[in-house]
Structure 1
Amino acid sequence: MRFELPPSVRKLVAARNELKAHFSEIDLHFTFDGNLVGDLGEAVASELFALKLTGRSNEGIDGYAPDGRSVQVKASGTARGAAFRLVETKADHLLFFHFNYDECFGEVIYNGPEEPIRKSLPVFRTGQRSVSATTFRRLNENVNAADRLPMQSQEEI
């Protein structure tokens, strides 16, 4: 499910794209990564799905849906997927976004319970493990409509 990035994010992306074009002969990419991508994901999720964000105080839970479900948000600006750390707290729900910064749109790759994603991870004790975008897409196909968070209309954003 594709959506337009919110106006504030589009401004940031436009500035990034301007830098990328200006330095194109030097082959600088100005990729969004790390905490910025995660923060963008949470900001977009709060607007698209009316999440009440928790800030950095809750490990494993980024916010709460209007119906009370705890939600973890993952985001990527690449086609690879998302990384997970081993944490005690598990969220009820997971949202995974892909951001296409060149064309200024986002896509909801996964909107469903967190448990099937966690079950797809290899067993690990330390560090982090990744779930591929292909796995997110495959598992998203099996999510019942009633288990998805409803998206706010673009006019409400």
Structure 2
Amino acid sequence: MFKKFLTTNNDLSLLLLRLTLGVVILPHGLQKTIGLFGGYGFSGTYGFLTGQMGVPGALALLVILAESLGALGLITGFLTRLGALGVAANMIGAIAMVHWQNGFFMNWTGNQGGEGFEFHLLAIGIAVVLLIKGGGALSVDKMLTDK
């Protein structure tokens, strides 16, 4: 069963998709874990999610892990499907809890109350492909299942 979870092919397009998603999501994870790029670090993010947003503690931890360890997993191709699932779940949660009310479009002009959800839909689309097909070429998953 675990081997099936890791199984993928040598598709270069999957490599491109997982690297793109991982590289885009990792800075958000680094904001949440160690406070890089203007983030609040683990305790600040956890406190915000559990306090102001009302997210249960275990779920707040999963949000932080999905954007940090999940992104690293995508970049390396290790447990690609799990990382993609975490990112997709985070994006769905972000749309439902924050971005839906701001409409579809990003706030390019600064005229909206916040960011829309178009970015999140793109991330979900990429994550779904990786959930279905796996990590592709040059992934740890591929190396593990080829042995």
Shorter chain as denominator, the TM-score bin is under 0.3
Relative contact order (alpha carbons < 8 A, sep ≥ 6): 1 or 2 greater? 2
Give the structure with the higher percent strand. Answer: 1
Give the structure with the higher percent helix. Answer: 2
Task: Calculate the TM-score normalised by the size of structure 1.
Answer: 0.24
Task: Calculate the TM-score normalised by the size of structure 2.
Answer: 0.25
